[in-house]
Structures are given as C-alpha cells and as structure tokens.
Amino acid sequence: MFEDEEAPGLDNSSKNTSMNDIMDSKPEHFHKLGDVIEKQDETGLMQVESLCMHCHENGTTRLLLLRVPFFRDVILESFECPHCSYKDNSVKSADQIQPQGSKYTLEVENEEDLQRQVIKSDTAIFKLETLGIEMPTGESQLTNVEGILMKIQLSLVTVQPELYNGLEPILQKLGQILNCKAFPFTISLDDPSGNSWIAPAPGDKGSKYRRKDYPRTHEQNEALGIAADPEAIKHEAPVMVQTAGDPEDLDIVDGKVYSLPAECPGCTMACVVNMQKVDIPHFKEVFIWSTVCDDCGYRTNEIKTGGAVPEKGKKIILEVNKIEDLSRDILKSDTCAVHSDELEMSVQPGTLGGRFTTVEGLLTEVRDQLRGQIFDIDDEAHVGGDSMAASEKETWSRFFARLDAAIKGEMKFVITLEDPLASSYVQSLCNPEPDPQLRVEEYARTEEEEEELGLRDMKTEGYGADAEKTEVGGT
C-alpha cells in the first residue's frame, strides 16, 4: 500500500534525516488510521494491508468485530496473500483477561449438540475426553463442536502421517463420532484466561453441561503474561496486615475478622483476604471469605463450610407456596447443584460459587447473570438478542418469564438443592418442629461425584500406621 509512495518533503536518498525534521513536517504527511483501514459500513468489515510472513509480500487482513450471544465481544481475523496464496484465520477476545480461569464440560448426546458454538482462544486446551485426544494451546477458533472435531481429525491424518497405523483405531472412533454413530461422548474446554466458551442450551439438565471457574496458578499467570514483575515486587512496600492473631496460636473466634496476605488472582499483585467465622443455628459453622485488590479493583466473596467430609450427600427439597417462603435463608455451597422442574431451571455445581442469601436472592442472581449472557442486554436500552434464532429466543423468553413470576411470588414451585458434601442449608420456619414444606434426604454419592471431589484418592484410615511403618523402614 505504501510501496510506491514517497513522503512529500523528504528526500528518500538522504540517510541522515533527523527525527526532528520528520516531526516538524506538516500533519497531512502522516496517514490517519481511517485512511489505512477500508471499512464496509453495512457489515462492519474492516480491511487493512499487512505483511505476509511466508513470502514477505503485502496481503490483506480482514477484521470483523462480533458480539457473540451468551458470551462477549470477539475479533475475527482473516488474512490472505494473493502472491503465495497463504491463508489464515483466528479469533481473539476483545475483552481483558478474566479474573479466573474457566473449564467447560459437555456431554454430547445428539446431532444438535454437535452444532453448539465453540470459542477456543489461543490459551485454551480442547479435549475429547472419551478418546483422550487433546488440541493444545496456540490456535484460536470460532467454530462448533463438529468443526473442532473435524479439525482434530484432519490434523491427525495430515500432520502425523507416519503415525497413521498406530492412530487408525482412534481415527475410526473419531469417524464414528462425526457420523453420529458414537453418542454419547464427553468434551471439555479449559482456558486459564477465561475467554473460551461452549454454548449452553435451555434444555441442559444434570451434569450434561458444566462450567467451573477456578483461580489461576502463578505459573498460569506467568504464561498469560500477567505475573507481577519480580523487580517491582522487590521495591514494593510490604503489605501491612492487621490480624486478630496467628490462627495457629489461637482458636478462630466467631464474628472476628481475620486478614491474611494473598496474591490477587486478577493481577497477581499483593492483596488482602478477609475471613470471618459465622455459626448458623441448626446447621454448622461457615467461613465467609472476601478478597479486595487495591491495584486492579478485583473483588469477590465466597462462603465455605467447615467440619469433616460426611459419608453421604444431602438433598434439600423446598416447596415455595407463599410469599414468605421467598425470604427463607439459603446457604448454597460451591459443590451444590440447584434445580426446579416447574421453573425448568438447572444450576450446576461451581456456577455461582458459594452463596449465603435468600430464595428470592438466589433466583434473582440466576436471572440477572443468565439474562445478561443470553440476551446480551444493553444497560441503557435493555434490549438485545437480535442475533439469536427466533425459536431459541422464544424459549429463553418463556424461561425468564417463569423466573420473574417466581421471584414476584406469583407462582408455586419446588426448588431442590443437591450437595454431595452436605454443606448446603435452607432455613426452616418451624424449628424445632418439622417443617411440612421442607424435606431433607441423604443419598450415597456416585463414583463420578467422588472422583470430582477428589475423595477416591483420599486415604482417611490407617494413614498414621503407614507413616510409622515408613519411619521404621527408613531407619
């Protein structure tokens, strides 16, 4: 684009032109960004000439700013070189790195699930869990489940032809999956930056669709380039934390706030975590954790329960029949799932984290979080969802209408809390007498729940004797 242009007022043969001479030249000699980029107003597509890294000639990069329903803003990039025919495309998040990483897990059960939209950033790892196949980091994509599986199949065949014989059984199974002959199977998408995503659907129930947010490790922050500068940390003033005493030297007192030094999961700078123990009547002790970072403004709070891991999980069923039931206190732990058949609502473990609120507060939080993601609502106009299919938009509209009616106390419904660690609670209005609207049932945890909670690898009996044997053997 600039090959045949000579900057007016400058002698290209001179090698000694100073920077001051350039800065003193007229403003019209500089190219404006709008002159470099050609924009098509109807589609919002932008084109900019850029260097091809294969043949070092000029090619064209096309950029499209796209708002993805259920998710956030992304930038689609497509490059094409007319000289060597090299082509490439990628998708990048237009948002900042999220405070926490995220992992999505989906049980693919039918052809409709294969069409679910997938955004894979260049920091995400996609796995076909059923076959143990992994697509590593380094390539970003905007596609669907079928498209990313086809990409894996093509990569195995073309990139590693010398391993074809050894990979043939896996390729056959992958072919059966793509031909819709191997349902169900499991996929996962793990992204430390939190900028990847698998689309949900209104009918997702149980463990079919799961999202789990998690704090990044220091190594993951370094890989994302957001780790704090070690040299800056050396010269940084130490964080002064006033505590109620060393927790190792005294008992944790109810109602007293303890402050602990920590690393911010958003910017990795030093911050303070406040903890308070609260005793809930007729239940158990819980710990309220609150994190505030003065550097980046990151804030979060969470509830965790104390005590030993129970032998069985607990299911709490509440019949909401009158307006007063919406004011019942609810403690939803991080491991608790919430669902209601009347509301067609299903909240998977880890989705909202630990919460101590009311029935109304819990439903309001579910509604607000989902509505902002599903309809992509503009804060001022309160409209959105134009890019969503009409049938899908109607389904979500019915769902939110029922949820609004439940929050206003205009309909009766049953809400169920299912917690494999029995760490959730719903307030009884008849204590110490039994509450006719509240039922509590214990159940045996499934092997899958035991595995996810890490209980199958935990040794709880005889570990003291094993340690003594190890010491005797060592001596």
Largest CA-CA distance found in the chain, in angstroms, rounded:
96
Q: What per-residue confidence (pLDDT) applies to 115?
A: 92
CB 317 within 8 A of CB 428: no
Q: Specify the fold of 313-452.
A: Jelly Rolls (2.60.120)
Contacts of 313 (CB under 8 A, 6+ apart): 418, 419, 420, 421, 422, 442, 443, 444, 445, 449
Most confident of 18-22, 139-143, 365-369, 425-429: 425-429
- Mean pLDDT computed over 217-235: 67
How large is the average pLDDT for residues 295-307? 78
Structure confidence by residue, pLDDT tens digits, 83-138: 999 988 887 766 678 878 899 999 999 999 999 989 898 899 999 999 999 998 88
* Residue 235: DSSP 8-state: T
Report the side by side order of strands in the sheet with 125-128. Answer: 133-135, 125-128, 185-191, 101-108, 209-214
Positions of CATH 2.20.25.420 in the chain: 19-93, 228-233+240-305
Please provide the average confidence, as pLDDT, over all residues in the chain: 78
Q: Where are the alpha helices (DSSP H) in 60-163?
A: 111-114, 145-158
For the chain, where do the domains classified as CATH 2.60.120.1040 start and end?
101-220, 313-452
pLDDT of residue 320: 95
Confidence category of residue 27, pLDDT binned at 50, 70, 90? very low
pLDDT-above-70 percentage for the chain: 75
**What burial letters (b/e) apply to 34-69, b meaning 16+ CB within 10 Å?**
eeeeeeeeeeeebeeeeebeeeeeebbbbbeeeebb
Give the residue from 326, 303, 322 showing the smallest Cα distance to 419: 303
Task: Provide the whole-model pTM.
Answer: 0.60
Query: What CATH number was assigned to the domain covering residues 101-220?
Result: 2.60.120.1040
Rounded distance between C-alpha atoms, residue 47 and residue 40, angstroms: 9
- Please name the fold of domain 228-233+240-305: N-terminal domain of TfIIb (2.20.25)
pLDDT > 70? residue 173: yes
Bigger pLDDT: 362 vs 8: 362
Confidence of residue 338 (pLDDT cuts 50, 70, 90): very high
CB 216 within 8 A of CB 100: yes
CATH topology of domain 19-93: N-terminal domain of TfIIb (2.20.25)
